[in-house]
Amino acid sequence: MNKYGYLKGLITDAETLIVPDAYDGISAKIIEYCGFHAAQCSGYSFSFLLRIGRIFAERDHIKLNA
Protein backbone atom coordinates (compact mmCIF):
# COMPACT_ATOMS: atom_id res chain seq x y z
CA MET A 1 0.00 0.00 0.00
CA ASN A 2 1.33 3.46 -0.82
CA LYS A 3 1.52 6.34 1.69
CA TYR A 4 -1.66 7.95 0.33
CA GLY A 5 -3.66 4.78 0.81
CA TYR A 6 -2.23 4.25 4.27
CA LEU A 7 -3.13 7.78 5.40
CA LYS A 8 -6.59 7.53 3.85
CA GLY A 9 -7.12 4.28 5.78
CA LEU A 10 -6.11 5.99 9.03
CA ILE A 11 -8.47 8.91 8.41
CA THR A 12 -11.48 6.80 7.43
CA ASP A 13 -10.99 4.27 10.24
CA ALA A 14 -13.55 4.27 13.07
CA GLU A 15 -10.77 4.72 15.65
CA THR A 16 -9.85 8.28 16.63
CA LEU A 17 -6.67 9.43 14.90
CA ILE A 18 -4.38 11.54 17.08
CA VAL A 19 -1.91 13.50 14.96
CA PRO A 20 0.74 15.42 16.92
CA ASP A 21 2.46 18.49 15.49
CA ALA A 22 6.06 18.11 14.31
CA TYR A 23 7.84 21.43 13.82
CA ASP A 24 11.21 19.97 12.76
CA GLY A 25 12.91 16.70 11.92
CA ILE A 26 13.83 15.88 15.49
CA SER A 27 10.27 16.28 16.75
CA ALA A 28 9.05 14.14 13.82
CA LYS A 29 11.46 11.35 14.79
CA ILE A 30 10.31 11.57 18.43
CA ILE A 31 6.68 11.31 17.30
CA GLU A 32 7.57 8.29 15.17
CA TYR A 33 9.51 6.71 18.05
CA CYS A 34 6.50 7.16 20.37
CA GLY A 35 4.41 5.06 18.00
CA PHE A 36 2.11 7.60 16.36
CA HIS A 37 0.98 6.65 12.86
CA ALA A 38 0.93 10.19 11.47
CA ALA A 39 2.33 13.66 12.13
CA GLN A 40 1.54 17.10 10.78
CA CYS A 41 3.27 20.45 10.61
CA SER A 42 1.18 23.58 11.00
CA GLY A 43 2.20 26.92 9.57
CA TYR A 44 2.13 28.42 13.04
CA SER A 45 4.56 25.92 14.53
CA PHE A 46 6.94 26.21 11.57
CA SER A 47 6.91 30.01 11.70
CA PHE A 48 7.41 29.85 15.47
CA LEU A 49 10.47 27.66 14.93
CA LEU A 50 11.86 30.18 12.43
CA ARG A 51 11.26 33.01 14.90
CA ILE A 52 13.00 31.14 17.73
CA GLY A 53 15.96 30.51 15.42
CA ARG A 54 16.11 34.22 14.60
CA ILE A 55 16.02 35.16 18.30
CA PHE A 56 18.95 32.85 19.07
CA ALA A 57 20.89 34.11 16.04
CA GLU A 58 20.40 37.72 17.12
CA ARG A 59 21.36 36.84 20.68
CA ASP A 60 24.57 35.20 19.47
CA HIS A 61 25.22 38.04 16.96
CA ILE A 62 24.95 35.79 13.89
CA LYS A 63 24.08 37.68 10.70
CA LEU A 64 21.13 36.23 8.76
CA ASN A 65 20.50 36.95 5.10
CA ALA A 66 16.70 36.94 5.28
Q: Where are the domains of the chain?
A: 18-66
Task: Please state, in angstroms and as integers, the Cα–Cα distance from residue 38 to each residue in 29, 41, 42, 50, 57, following that order.
Answer: 11, 11, 13, 23, 31
| Highest mean predicted confidence (pLDDT) among 14-18, 19-23, 29-33, 59-63 | 29-33
Residues facing residue 40 across a β-bridge: 21
Is the pLDDT at 66 greater than 60, yes or no?
Answer: no
Show the CA angle centred on residue 22, arms to residues 20 and 26, nearest 5°. Answer: 125
- Calculate mean pLDDT across residues 29-37: 93
- Calculate mean pLDDT across residues 48-65: 66
**pLDDT band, residue 34 (cuts 50/70/90):** very high
